[in-house]
Amino acid sequence: MKHQEILPTPKLTPYIHSFWELKGEPHDNQWERIFPDGCPGIVLNIGASFHTDNGKIVMDHGKTYVVGAMTSFKDSFINTDTHLLGVCLKPTAFSNFYKYVPQHELINSTVQFDKAYSFDLEKIKKVPTDYLNSFFIDRIRMSNKPLTTVIANIHHCKGQISIYELAKQNHMTVRQLERNFKIHIGTTPKEYARIVRFQSALTLMTTPHQQKSLSDIAFECGFFDQAHLANEVKHHTGLTPSQF
C-alpha cells in the first residue's frame, strides 16, 4: 500500500497534525494494524467498501466518517481497491470544527457523518489538499484550544505524571480535569498519559540500531519492570515486544 502525509496550511497547524492518503496496490490483500495515539480523525472513503474496526464496520464509497480516539489497536483490511483520504486531528481539536457529541461517545468507534458534516466527494477528488485546507478554515468554530497546556505537560514528561500532579500544575481539581478530558478527548487523563507513555516506549523499541534492552526501555519510560512494559505493549498492539 502507499501512504503519504501532507501538512495543512499554517493557520490549521494548531488543530491538525496532517492530511493523509492511503491507496491499495495490486498485490495488497491483508489486514493492517494501527495503534492508539490519542488523536481523533476524519476519513473519506473514495475507493471500494472498506472493512475496519477489526471487521465490525464497513465504510461505504463516498461516505465521510469520524474516527474517535483509540485506547487499543484496530485492524483494517487493505486490498487493491482501497483508497482513503483522512485528517489526523490534534487532541481536543475536534470541537474547534464540529458541534457534535462529547468525545467519550466516539471513543474506539467509527461513525458515519451525515451530509452536513461530510466532505464533498467530487470537489475533494480534484485538489484534495486545497479542498481540505479551505474546508477546515471555513469550519473553525472557536480559536481557543482547551487542555493545550495539560496535553503539553503530559507529552513533556512522556506520560510519566500522576493525575493529581497534572491537575495541580494546571490549577484544576482532578474531577474538573477528568470531566474536560471526557468532553474534549474521550479518554480519562490517566488513559491518555498511558497512551503517551506507550508511544514513547514504542518509539524506542522500533528505532533502528538502538542498543537498549527491554529492561532499559521499561526503566526509561517509567514502567515497573519489563513485564509491565510487555503487558502495556500487548494491550495497545495485540503483540508482544519480541514481535516488533
Contact 81, 24 (CB under 8 A): yes
Residue 211 pLDDT greater than 90, yes or no: no
The pLDDT value recorded for residue 23 is 97
This prediction's pTM = 0.92
235, 41, 111, 133 alpha-carbon torsion, rounded to 10°: -170
* pLDDT tier at 242, thresholds 50, 70, 90: confident
**Whole-number Å distance between alpha carbons of 46 and 68:** 20
pLDDT at 151: 96
Sheet of 16-23, strands arranged across: 2-6, 16-23, 83-89, 41-45, 64-67, 110-112
Model confidence band, residue 14 (pLDDT cutoffs 50, 70, 90): very high
How far is Cα 99 from Cα 111, in angstroms, rounded to an integer?
15
